[in-house]
Homo-oligomer: A and B are copies of this chain.
Amino acid sequence: AADTPDSLEERLRILERKLELAEEQAANNAREAPAIKINEKGVGIQSAQGDYEFKFRGLLQADGRWFIDDRAPRTHDGFLLRRVEPTFELTLGKALFFRIQPNFAPDNATVSDVYGELRLSPVFYVRAGKFKAPVVLENLQASAATVFNERGLPNELGPNRDYGVQFGGAVLSNTLSYAIGVFNGAPDGRDATQQPETDNRKEVAARLFAEPFKNSPGFFQGLGFGVGASHGEKQGSAAANAVKYRTPGQNTFFSYLTTVGYDGDETRVSPQAYYDRNGLGLLTEYIVAKQKVAVGSNHEKLDNTAWQVVGNYLLTSEDASYAGLTKPKRPITQGGAGAWELVARYGELDVDNDAFPLYADPTQSASKARTWATGVNWYPLGNLKIALTYSQTGFDGGAASGADREDEKLLFSRFQIAF
């Protein structure tokens, strides 16, 4: 019972229309459905129009610190969690960005970064909350990407995370970035704490950073340089006592006497640069922190300075980058050896000699620290880094009877998952 062609044509027409509708429906669904991603960068959900986006990322640093030859241990050898930072980011309607990065690493949870950003144009944003003050280059590098377990000595003189408001952006085809902010004022080398804000005074911090050849492949493409600075009034002993310069092993080798107070403004200036080419990465920076201190009727302007050079070299043909390495070219899960990286650092921190003995105790606080470190980082597969590095730090002064503080010799291990 064959149909007549007429009826066939009718059925065909219906079918054509149905398929058209199904295709429209599928296209509509695709247009409206949020895009879900899960890969080595974590979890992402993006609205169909792209104006809302959620990201979940994470960082775990399980470290070991093994002090060698320490006759009078200041810190015990052992395993520790250095950073445990799940991160939630949300873009809300394109112009608004929200980021929260708790840190569960010490025994009590805190928040590392938390801020909102109004991104009115590529060249201008306003940011409010708690975040890194824009001064020290290695400090601004992501914690998952730093070459060694701990940042270097210049970091001890700069501000770390602070509470405030910042304006910034990037101009000239993204080759020049700027940031300027007003903050409560963080102690040298530390986060500002919210409770208590130690004084009524505020601090301004700013940074200009150029990557002039960023968009031009070639020898200079990976070059970036700039300057960060801060200026703020600080008063009182609570602020001065928060200053504690630390070794790589996180032992304090310099602090002011508890009777010392800040006595006016602190100014920091930090010229800085990095250069990456193929497997080679270099980072160098200098910082001077000019501090006015007083004790009793004595007043002094102190210039504390620090500098460092950090280098890393990837032996397995991956590219070195200030942003760190996410994926080895030949992971062990594919029969490769993973990525291997040699690392080295030299740095110095020099406390103004006028600090002694009126403002700091020469038998407790060293006037100078010199540190060198070297080691190897292994990236067996994506998101995983296993590091073993050795760090040695020597001092001028800091012990009884004019002697030098004992060298700190330290073996660092790290098991890091970052996504």
Residues of A within 8 A of B (CB): 2-6, 8-9, 11-12, 15-16, 18-19, 22-23, 25-26, 33-34, 36-40, 42-43, 45-47, 52-54, 56, 58, 60, 62, 64, 73, 75-81, 84, 86, 88, 90, 92-96, 98, 100, 102, 104-111, 114-116, 118, 128-130, 163-165, 182-184, 193-200, 202, 331, 333, 380-384, 415, 417, 419
Known interface pairs A38-B46, A79-B163, A80-B163; A62-B96 also in contact (CB < 8 Å): no
Please state if A415 and B165 are interface contacts (CB–CB under 8 Å).
yes
Contact between B118 and A81, CB atoms less than 8 A apart: no
Is the Cβ of A193 less than 8 Å from the Cβ of B107?
Answer: yes
Residues in B with CB closer than 8 Å to A64 are 165
Q: 5 A-B pairs, CB-CB below 8 angstroms?
A: A26-B26, A76-B197, A102-B102, A104-B114, A107-B110
* Given A2-B5, A110-B107, A129-B60 contact (CB < 8 Å): yes
- Decide: B196 and A128 in contact? CB cutoff 8 A: no
Are B81 and A194 interface neighbours, CB within 8 A?
Answer: yes
- Cα distance A118–B47 when bound, in Å? 32
Give CA–CA (A75, B96) in the complex, Å. 31
Q: How far is the CA of A198 from the CA of B78 in the complex (A)?
A: 10
Contact check, B8 vs A381: say whether CB atoms are below 8 A apart: no
Decide yes or no: A54 and B79 within 8 Å by CB, A96-B383, A194-B107 being known contacts: no
Across-interface contacts of A42 in B (CB, < 8 A): 90
Asked whether B39 lies within 8 Å of A36 as measured between CB atoms, the reply is no
A76:B196 contact, CB within 8 angstroms: yes
Contact B58 A84 (CB under 8 A): no
Nearest residue, chain B, Cβ from A114: B84
Q: Please measure, in the bound complex, the distance between the C-alpha atom of A110 and the C-alpha atom of B102, giving whole angstroms.
A: 11
| Distance between A165 CB and nearest chain B CB, rounded to angstroms | 7
Shortest Cβ distance from A102 into chain B, in angstroms? 5
Question: Residues of B contacting A92 with CB < 8 Å?
Answer: 40, 382-384, 417, 419
Total copies of the chain: 3
**Residues B118 and A384 in contact, CB atoms below 8 Å apart:** yes
Please measure, in the bound complex, the distance between the C-alpha atom of A202 and the C-alpha atom of B66, giving whole angstroms.
12
Instruction: Output the least CB separation between A24 and chain B (Å).
Output: 11
Residues on B with C-beta less than 8 A from A84 are 100, 111, 114
Distance to closest chain B CB from A41 (angstroms):
10
Inter-chain contact B107/A109, CB cutoff 8 Å: no
Smallest Cβ-Cβ distance to A193: which chain B residue: B107
Task: Kindly provide the distance from the CB of A406 to the nearest chain B CB, expressed in whole angstroms.
Answer: 16
5 closest residue pairs by CB, A with B: A128-B415, A104-B111, A109-B109, A79-B163, A78-B197
A22 near B23: Cβ-Cβ < 8 Å: yes
Q: Which residues of B contact A75 (CB under 8 A)?
A: 196-197
CA distance A64 to B116 in the complex (A): 14
- Beta-carbon contact of B79 and A184 below 8 Å: yes
A359 CB to closest chain B CB, in angstroms? 24
Beyond A8-B8, A109-B111, 20 additional contacts (C-beta under 8 Å) are: A3-B9, A11-B16, A18-B19, A34-B38, A36-B45, A58-B98, A62-B163, A62-B165, A64-B165, A76-B198, A77-B197, A81-B194, A92-B383, A92-B419, A104-B111, A107-B195, A108-B108, A108-B110, A109-B109, A118-B380
Q: Do A116 and B384 contact each other (CB < 8 Å), given the known contacts A3-B9, A194-B106, A417-B98?
A: yes
**Residues from chain B with Cβ under 8 Å of A79 in the complex:** 128, 163-165, 182-184
Q: With A and B bound together, what is the CA distance between A331 and B81 in angstroms? A: 42
Report the bound CA distance from A81 to B165 in whole Å: 12
Chain B: minimal CB distance from A130 (Å): 6
Complex-state Cα separation, A2 to B11, whole angstroms: 12
Contact of A58 with B93 in the complex, beta carbons under 8 Å: no
User: Are A114 and B15 closer than 8 Å at their CB atoms?
Assistant: no
A37–B266 CA distance with the chains assembled, in angstroms = 49
Q: A91 CA to B184 CA in the complex, in Å?
A: 40
A80: chain B residues within 8 A (beta carbon): 163, 194, 197
